[in-house]
Chain A
Amino acid sequence: METAIITLEQRELENGPDGIRVEGYTELLTYYLLQDELCNAKFLWKRVPSNMKQNAEIDAVWNVGKRLWTKDMPGFYEAASAFQWSAPIAPIMNQLKETVREKTIRLIGRAYSSIKPQDIATMLGITLPEVETLVNSRAWKVVDGMIEPTECVSEDVPISSSEEQIGKLTDYVAFLEN
């Protein structure tokens, strides 16, 4: 993904809007959204020439971006599902939907000690039966019709060896002593 972004950015820098063309802009915009680079996405939209903004797909992508900017979750899922994405955009968009959903699930775990099932459904853009499956898969408790989510433990903690840590400490002490 990184290389794809750099290639597209270079194409724009070398030949301007004519070099990257509207397809390239659409792809780059979707990548920025996926990377959670909302500011870059916003300014990309600002610099797209107005005749290219007529293109239905780039307009639809930015519509999705706007919802992310305002943190309008139901609107986001609606906008992301409403458009028939073309072949290059569809996989990125699906990935985007998944990333956003996963992030929201983590946020719910972090921010709520109890929450209505309906609210989870709106925040994730899913139906109530789907909420039930989610609750079961995450082993969240249900008490009196309210869901009590638990925090997701962040995995992938790289544990550095104690030798490495001692090495770093030695460096710091050596620096302070001199």
Chain B
Amino acid sequence: MMLMISSIDSYIQAVTNVPAVLQNKDFLENLHPRYTEVLSRCNSVAGGASPSPNTPIDVAINTLLETGVNNETGVNKHTIGVVGLLCAKTKTNEFNTNFESFLVQFSGFMETCDWAHMRVVANVVSEIAAAITDQMIRRNQPILGINLLGNLATRLQAHEKMLTCVHSCVLQLCCASYNFKAALRFIIDDFEEFTPDVKGSDNSQSLLCYLYYSGMIYTALKRYDRAIYFFEACTRVPAITLSHIMLECYKKHILVCLIEHGEVATPHKSASQVVNRLLKPNALAYTELATAFNVSSDSLSNCIAKHVDTYRRDQTYGLVKQVRIAHMRVLIRKLTRTFLTLSLEDVGRRAVGGEADNPERIVLSMIQENMIYAKINQRDGMVRFLDSIVDLNTNHRVMELLEAKINSCVELNKRVGIMNDRISTNPEFISKVVLDSATGVQDGEQAGGSGGSGGGNQQISSSAKFQTRGSTSSNSNVAGAFNL
């Protein structure tokens, strides 16, 4: 049903006339495909000459807020209508100047809105969040937006493993304000679900941004193992074209892998083919670096010198410098596999490559970080490499680590089981399976050329039933649902 609103009054009428339960995610688009433009134009025409503190949109918002609130539950039934108006307000020319009052209005609205409805129009909510983020960064006060949008993100989630578009906005604010510690709360480890807007039409940009920011935040905090996870996840997002965000992730993935592990893992087979083909030629400076890393420290230096401009332009030169240090450490680690004792001089010659830094200092800091196990003997200037001091019986840390890992695996298994159950009892999924197997059988029957008109149909439907049951028989829930 297309209502085609033309003024704010008709908008209010439409919003109040349609019962809240019938307002679905396309409700606002159905009023008018470009309802925000229409509304913001009405605002400026009417506001015109004398800009009063309350613009027509403000008046409309107040009306909806007053009429919509249920006195018993304190929840507003016109939530979707207000969200549409607020979004229109971010498009008006006065948005800049009245930003503070907009924030007050928005956070006030968050107290009475219906979160289930907010989830329905998550795409509009995230548009508002993006406008707020943009404005905060423009005003050079990104830190002030973290609490507000963080609150919005947490409340918009239906459960804590749900990713919303607002999450990437919060992370962006955290990055812009150098407040990485605050961001950790909003990084969801393995999210199970997103609000519908995350996989929207814009090439899943917000999902990519979320993964990229998460990776950058962990890189900044030097927790490289986590950073690798997010960068890799980003290059594995299904895509038909190459996104710049993905490319940046790929570059950083190489650097961080070299720093943390001294090698780059081959891309996972689940990564999309197109992307894999396009990523490498576009990040030549980085793939060459990874190759040079495995050859020698001279070739690494040459490679860095050759591409130094690219690194500076990409703002990755800091990480590249760390790659060089990591290379030295990898070499020292290799020495521990070959030698039992070695003089500090030799360590310097073989690994440090005559650089000014003192080999003793490097070995010491590696011992400090538990990268190698060794004893320095200053009397004869030797280093004795030891086996790792891990003793399963006495070292309770190892036990703790092991237990934590096992527990997280058990937890993950449980979650996958639950997700599996949920999908296999999903009516849409079942009807698709039934349909697929039915057509599959039909094809088979036709190919075989057997079966009359009446009896054949009977046969088809019964075998279809059988196939469906057979293919999902491991799950009793499905069989139950199917009988219904």
Beta-carbon contact of A47 and B221 below 8 Å: no
User: Is A57 part of the contact surface with B, judged by Cβ < 8 Å?
Assistant: no
User: Is B396 part of the contact surface with A, judged by Cβ < 8 Å?
Assistant: yes
With most chain B CB atoms within 10 A of its CB, the pick from A9, A16, A144 is: A16
Bound Cα distance from A47 to B144, whole angstroms? 13
Beta-carbon contact of A116 and B221 below 8 Å: no
Beta-carbon contact of A113 and B222 below 8 Å: no
Beta-carbon contact of A146 and B179 below 8 Å: no
The tally of residues in B whose CB lies under 8 Å from a CB in A reads 33
Binary contact track A157-178/B, C-beta < 8 Å → 1, others 0: 1110000000010011001000
Looking at chain A's contact residues, is the secondary structure mostly helix, strand, loop, or mixed?
helix
Looking at chain B's contact residues, is the secondary structure mostly helix, strand, loop, or mixed?
helix
Residues of B within 8 A of A15 (CB): 144
Beta-carbon contact of A39 and B367 below 8 Å: no
Bound Cα distance from A5 to B147, whole angstroms? 17
Q: Which of A12, A39, A71, A112 contacts B378 (CB 8 A)?
A: A112
Beta-carbon contact of B182 and A9 below 8 Å: yes
Beta-carbon contact of B178 and A13 below 8 Å: no
Q: Which residue of B lies closest to A168 (CB)?
A: B403
User: Is A14 part of the contact surface with B, judged by Cβ < 8 Å?
Assistant: yes
**Smallest CB–CB gap between A34 and chain B, Å?**
15
User: Is A63 part of the contact surface with B, judged by Cβ < 8 Å?
Assistant: no
Binary contact track B177-193/A, C-beta < 8 Å → 1, others 0: 11111100000000000
Beta-carbon contact of B403 and A43 below 8 Å: no
Beta-carbon contact of A172 and B406 below 8 Å: yes
User: Is B60 part of the contact surface with A, judged by Cβ < 8 Å?
Assistant: no
Q: Which residue of B lies closest to A119 (CB)?
A: B378
User: Is B418 part of the contact surface with A, judged by Cβ < 8 Å?
Assistant: no
User: Is B284 part of the contact surface with A, judged by Cβ < 8 Å?
Assistant: no
Tell me which of B2-10, B112-120, B250-258, B368-376 binds A.
Answer: B368-376
Binary contact track B352-368/A, C-beta < 8 Å → 1, others 0: 00000000010111011
The tally of residues in A whose CB lies under 8 Å from a CB in B reads 33
Instruction: Point out residues on B near A: beta carbons under 8 Å.
Output: 141, 143-144, 146-147, 177-182, 220-222, 361, 363-365, 367-368, 374-379, 384, 394, 396, 403, 406, 410, 413
Beta-carbon contact of B181 and A40 below 8 Å: yes
Beta-carbon contact of A112 and B143 below 8 Å: no
Residues of B within 8 A of A146 (CB): 378-379
Beta-carbon contact of B375 and A113 below 8 Å: yes
Residues of A within 8 A of B394 (CB): 157
**Smallest CB–CB gap between A86 and chain B, Å?**
25
Nearest 4 pairs of A and B residues by beta carbon: A47-B178, A113-B375, A111-B367, A43-B178
Q: Which residue of B lies closest to A171 (CB)?
A: B410
Interchain residue pairs with CB less than 8 A apart (11): A39-B220, A46-B178, A47-B179, A71-B361, A110-B367, A111-B363, A111-B364, A111-B368, A111-B376, A113-B375, A157-B394
Residues of B within 8 A of A107 (CB): 364, 367-368
**Smallest CB–CB gap between B483 and chain A, Å?**
26
Beta-carbon contact of B143 and A16 below 8 Å: yes
Beta-carbon contact of A112 and B365 below 8 Å: no
Beta-carbon contact of A116 and B375 below 8 Å: no
Residues of A within 8 A of B141 (CB): 16
User: Is A115 part of the contact surface with B, judged by Cβ < 8 Å?
Assistant: yes
Bound Cα distance from A113 to B141, whole angstroms? 53
Bound Cα distance from A113 to B403, whole angstroms? 33
Beta-carbon contact of A114 and B182 below 8 Å: no
| Contacts known (A13-B143, A14-B147); A111 close to B396, Cβ less than 8 A | no
| Contacts known (A47-B143, A157-B396, A175-B410); A13 close to B182, Cβ less than 8 A | yes
Residues of B within 8 A of A111 (CB): 363-364, 367-368, 374-376
| Contacts known (A40-B181, A114-B378); A13 close to B222, Cβ less than 8 A | no
Beta-carbon contact of A114 and B177 below 8 Å: no
Residues of B within 8 A of A17 (CB): 143
Beta-carbon contact of A39 and B221 below 8 Å: yes
Residues of A within 8 A of B146 (CB): 13
Residues of B within 8 A of A40 (CB): 180-181, 221
**Smallest CB–CB gap between A148 and chain B, Å?**
9
Bound Cα distance from A37 to B368, whole angstroms? 16
Interface residues of A in 135-171 (CB under 8 A from B): 144, 146, 157-159, 168, 171
